[in-house]
Homo-oligomer: A and B are copies of this chain.
């Protein structure tokens, strides 16, 4: 009886997932290849799908089914696919139904207006025109937090949307520890007289060759093109529109090697995770990614821990030199690996290196918390932003466009999202450290171009588990430790201190 009800529930949710993946296609198409004039109608199509999806997700019948199942043997075994399904769906249902329809609509409206205002404000380097709409958004997000409810602080309720079960207190503790070690390391790097040259990354890198080489590398690390695609876009992303249809995107700079190549590794890392999720649970919690932080850990692991390692380039550099002979023909392996690991504090998050990137995130985490807790007024945000950039990174913003206005997130009401980027780096450090301990001479297999042992190790422990464990539980199980800044810091020190003559 309860198994029949469980199957009915799953079919309902799988059907919603079919609509969600259709919306993914609409959005992917819009961001890659859609004719320019088609935008307004595409927005209508997406709005209609979103309305249908929201209505299915808040259907009272779903609440009834979940309530009935909560008292049956279906949920008897914790972390089983069945218990996970009921538990995670209940959680999503509660969040969705706690939000008044008027608030959902107003958030959606202000998010569209916010993005429009942001595009203009950024173009004109004018924070003041953006300020009122951001004030509205911050106010609505506070209302959202109040509606959802929280124990400790309002920011918890927002964080929860992107990183379930994570808390502001825990992140504050770990980020503070990370910042305390990272700021002096980066300051030391800035002051060092030694360090790598990056000239070899700038030169003639024809787009066709970049695409071919990037596609080869993505295939080699394990992205399956029979179940995926690689296309061009302005703001790269990875999206899934079916159990065997995961699409990654990138952008090419014909005069710079790193943008596309490491972008492809990053998105392929997301894609390998998606392709490794259990297809037979597609669209249901046991077949979905654990959290945004865990998702980002996979992109960062392949981009940075693997993709910037000496071992990786022991395999790939001769191949790169064959493809980009004009620019890399005379470059040595050591010189190239040094270049792709150079650290240089800068203004723009999306262009930041592996080390300073974390500080960009910590700044945003601290500022958005202060906004939500009303310790900081939106009017004072630019000043606070600039002060933190000076303090943590030692850089000065010449304008707002490349400062407080550089990211789209706040304008689209995504407050609580940024910390998942740094969480990704932290988890990547932990997972990679554990993999190295577990797999014996991992560096030797990477240097041989064999990425299967690492991918299988991650697949077994992370991909196949879907949402059966929370991010924190997963980290504990896979690494034996709770979230910690230590593996990431150890990795950065091991690599950067010799590179910059700091040991």
Give the interface of A toward B (CB within 8 A): 15, 18-19, 21-22, 25-26, 29, 33-38, 40-42, 44-45, 48-49, 225-229, 241-245, 247, 282
Complex: A21 Cα to B44 Cα, angstroms: 11
A-B contacts, 29 listed (Cβ < 8 Å): A18-B45, A18-B48, A19-B48, A21-B41, A22-B26, A22-B45, A22-B49, A25-B25, A29-B29, A33-B229, A34-B245, A35-B225, A35-B226, A35-B227, A35-B244, A35-B245, A36-B226, A37-B226, A37-B227, A37-B244, A37-B245, A38-B227, A38-B244, A38-B245, A41-B242, A41-B243, A41-B244, A42-B242, A45-B242
Distance in angstroms from A304 CB to nearest chain B CB is 27
Distance in angstroms from A282 CB to nearest chain B CB is 8
A279 — nearest CB in chain B belongs to which residue?
B41
Q: Which residues of B contact A228 (CB under 8 A)?
A: 35
Distance in angstroms from A47 CB to nearest chain B CB is 9
Q: Which residues of B contact A226 (CB under 8 A)?
A: 35-37
A47 — nearest CB in chain B belongs to which residue?
B18
Dominant SS among interface residues on chain A: helix
Distance in angstroms from A240 CB to nearest chain B CB is 10
15 further A-B contacts with Cβ under 8 Å, apart from A15-B48, A42-B245, are A18-B44, A18-B45, A18-B48, A19-B48, A25-B26, A33-B229, A34-B245, A35-B225, A35-B226, A35-B229, A36-B226, A37-B226, A37-B244, A38-B242, A41-B282
Q: Is the CB of A21 within 8 A of B36?
A: no
Q: Which residues of B contact A18 (CB under 8 A)?
A: 44-45, 48
Distance in angstroms from A148 CB to nearest chain B CB is 30
A34 — nearest CB in chain B belongs to which residue?
B245
Complex: A241 Cα to B34 Cα, angstroms: 10
Q: Which residues of B contact A22 (CB under 8 A)?
A: 22, 26, 45, 49
Distance in angstroms from A124 CB to nearest chain B CB is 26
Q: Which residues of B contact A247 (CB under 8 A)?
A: 35
Complex: A29 Cα to B247 Cα, angstroms: 13
Complex: A36 Cα to B44 Cα, angstroms: 29
Distance in angstroms from A29 CB to nearest chain B CB is 6
A246 — nearest CB in chain B belongs to which residue?
B35
Q: Is the CB of A21 within 8 A of B35?
A: no
Q: Which residues of B contact A35 (CB under 8 A)?
A: 225-229, 244-245, 247
